[in-house]
Structure formats: C-alpha cells, structure tokens
Amino acid sequence: MNVKEYIASGILEAYALGSCAQAEKEEVEAKLAQYPELREELRLIEQSLGTYASLYAKEPPAGLQNKIASALFGNEENKGKVIGLRPNALTLPRWLAAAAAALLLATTFSAIVLYSMLSDSNERFAETEKENSLLNSSLAQRDSAIGSMNKEMALLKDPMSQLIVLKGMKKAPDAKAMVVWNKKTNEVYLEVERLPQAPQGMQYQFWAIVDGKPVDAGMIHTDSAGMHRMKDFEKADAFAITLEKEGGSPVPNLEEMYAMGKP
C-alpha cells in the first residue's frame, strides 16, 4: 500500500471528523496499527481539529459541574452503593425458614412469593407465581437467593415499596427483571433476573418513562448479581430496559427494547 497516496486520499481526515461508516473505520484502524506514518499524520490532524473545536469553547451553565458530580458520585446520603448478596448465615423465623426451604426452585422471585404471603395480595404477584416454574434449581442459586432475600425482604417489607416486574418484549420474551421502587424515598432498585448476553460493545440501559418521555435511569451492570441502586424517580409511568452501545445513549433505541413493566 502506498502510504503517501493513502494520506492524500483524505481518509484520515474523514476518520478524524467522524464521518466514516463503521466498516471504513475498522479499515482505517487496521491501517493505523500497521503504519506509523499514518499514526503521525492522524495525530497532526486530530491536534488541529482539537484546537479548532476549542475555539468554539463556551462556558457551561454554573452549577452543572455539581449536578454532574452528584450524578457520578452521589451526595452525602446517596452513595450509589450496589446492594450485593449476603450469603452469610441468617436467622429467619421458623415458619419463614420452612417456607424458604420448601421453595426448591428458589431464585430471587421467591422473595416476591414470600412478600405476597406477608402483605396484602395484589394481582401483580399472582402472575409471578406461575413464573416460578421457569426458574432453575441449583444449590448456588438457592443459597444466593436466600442471602439476597434478607436484603430484599427489608426493601419489600417497607410498605412504601412498590414491586414492578419487567417482562420480556418481542426481542427476548424470556427476559425478566424486578424493580423495587420506594415511593417514600424515591429510590429505585433493579435486579436483572434474565437478560440475553449483551454483544461486545453493547450494554443494557435502564429507563423510566416519565410523562411519556423516556428518562435515563442508569446503566445496567450484568456482571454483578443482586439488587442495584439506580437513579431516583419521584414518578414514572413505566420502566424499561433497552440495549444500547456501551456507555449508554441519551435517548433509547426503541427497536432494542428487551423488557418493560408498569407500576
């Protein structure tokens, strides 16, 4: 390949300007890896483009820095902790232990069943009892389920908590997730029960539909099980999960909706 011709073709400029299609991008990146002259040329292009872009610099609104920092790091009360599993020994009332033991197909959905025994019945919960038959039975899952039950019981027992089951859409009919929404504190917790493995470079994103508009509720990290604290919401008409590119998107790709549920 003639390096000079390649440079003269302007493909590196197009790459730096972000106007290459995915296939072209990959081609360019392969060539960049191979030829140091191309890397040097690109460096100069990117440098001048960066300088040009910074000429348009504009002061962001005051207070935005704090807002973003709060979103990333939380404020005093909200540390954004992941509520993980506690597979330690636990003490349950005898009747509860018996009920737990009886649920051989235990996953976290057993928490829903237990909750329905404890609280006033709600037609939402009747559905999930049928779903128990879909659940796998493995010792590890049962143990982790019993452990996480402890934490989730606390959440669910709170009368201000609302449970929403997100059911699979056409994309993945078996997809399932559970949302616990504390209406008093506005805290929203998401536990993914089942989602297809996200392809490389893609990531699941959680949304709340507020006044008909989808609002980002946080990225989903499927590598850790259990309940995850997501963004707080005072009101929402529905919750949904879409598949986006890694890092997320400001607006959902509605063609990649995997699960949805209404409070």
Binding site for another protein (CB under 8 A): 8-11, 13-14, 16-21, 42-61, 64-65, 67-69, 71-73, 216, 219, 246-251, 254
Least Å distance, CB 68 to another protein, is 5
**E strand map for the chain:** 82-83, 161-168, 176-182, 188-194, 202-210, 213-219, 227-229, 238-245, 257-261
Give the C-alpha separation, 84 to 89, whole Å: 15
Give the C-alpha separation, 49 to 69, whole Å: 28
Closest CB to another protein among 7 and 165?
A: 7
Closest CB to another protein among 48 and 222?
A: 48
DSSP state of 31: H
Least Å distance, CB 50 to another protein, is 5
Residues 6+ apart with CB under 8 A from 233: 181, 186, 188, 208, 210, 215, 217
Closest CB to another protein among 1 and 62?
A: 62
Closest CB to another protein among 198 and 219?
A: 219
Least Å distance, CB 5 to another protein, is 12
Least Å distance, CB 96 to another protein, is 39
